[in-house]
Structure 1
Amino acid sequence: MTGDWLAGGRAELASERILDAVRGLVIDKGAGTVGMAEVAEAAGCSRATLYRYFENRQSLYVAFAGREAGQLIARVWRDHPLDGADRAERLLDGMTATLAAARKTPHLAVWFEPANVGIVARLSDSSAVIDELVAVFVARMRPDLPVAAARRLGRWSVRVMISLLTLPAASEDEERSLLRDFLLPFLLDDGLAVEDVTDAGGR
């Protein structure tokens, strides 16, 4: 079962193979209940091999969340370029499309069910997840920001988006209004310093 893992130059594919196994298990079993032994079996490796790549379930979940969030955001924003006029509306279109895509993706939507709120809160506060989102989203919105400020804005952006996924607005219009009021001013640099995110609930 495990003999092919490190043979023939496959070592660099091991993490992806493990995370693919997590995706399948999350769809079948739900989020937050998948254990390391189950992941090892689904990935076709030993538990010892799994622990070489991920020291515990939290680190495995963080890696999975970071990868899937990064891929979803990159995919959505390829279809929602920000070039041209009405940049604010284009940005709102992209953010609402991101929320819609997360809700329609089975292995992501399950994480935002009420029973998993605590797990999602811990994952969203992970530096690894924030770094991934900063790399593919915040940095392109505000290339002027130093790294520390981009991380603060990334943390705030994640919290706003997750709050809408776990507690959806009554309508898309209301969702756009919330994004316009509480996230757009920071992403578009409309006279607000990123330090103001702290006053709004970031840190």
Structure 2
Amino acid sequence: MINNPKKIINRIKRNFKGAMKLDSIEFKEFTARDKIKEPFTIRKYIHEEDREKLIQMYENFDPSLRCLGLPPITRVAIENWIDYLAKNGFALVAEKDGRIIGHVVIVPTEDGKKADITIFIHQDFQNRGVGQILMKTMIDLCRKIGFDGIMLVTERTNARAIHVYKKLGFEVVSPYIEYDMYLDLKKSEGTEKPEESKEEKVVISPA
């Protein structure tokens, strides 16, 4: 396994310099169900309120499931990482019974036309469709904001994740030790919408 979180963070820093601000995006939370019909909430991540809960998710993350050195292992490194992402990006979380179980974040590229995406689901809730619903929701949000495409990087040995990303429309653009993948939002009109409750709908309001 590659253990190089600095490389990923440096890439995000290069991409974000001078990029669009995402603070003004409004997102109305909604309830979805996983593969075993258990309900969970997808909502906007609010750093001031959710920081400690997100740190706890990553502190309890199985180190053997890390990808490209992420998430970091020590609390200080986790804090620095999520503080940076919160400052420069926009995130959604999956929450169940007050506990954050999934985290997806986008950081725009320098020209604001594309977004880098990162997602992690706590091991207790993997293989239940939570990550796929969270990804679909963020893809739909990126399309409504007006991004041209979404980029991600994973390990070539991460077969399960690569399979899911391909199902969502991502294509491999650099198949080496690290897999760079790209979703062209202008070409593909997207993915199946996640299940929503009847009372709640996703609302995106860019500035």
Same fold (TM over 0.5): no
Q: Which structure has more helix as a fraction of its residues?
A: 1
* Larger RCO (alpha carbons 8 Å, 6+ apart): 2
Q: Which structure has more strand as a fraction of its residues?
A: 2
Looking at CA atoms only, which structure, 1 or 2, has the larger radius of gyration? 1
Q: TM-score, normalised by structure 1?
A: 0.28
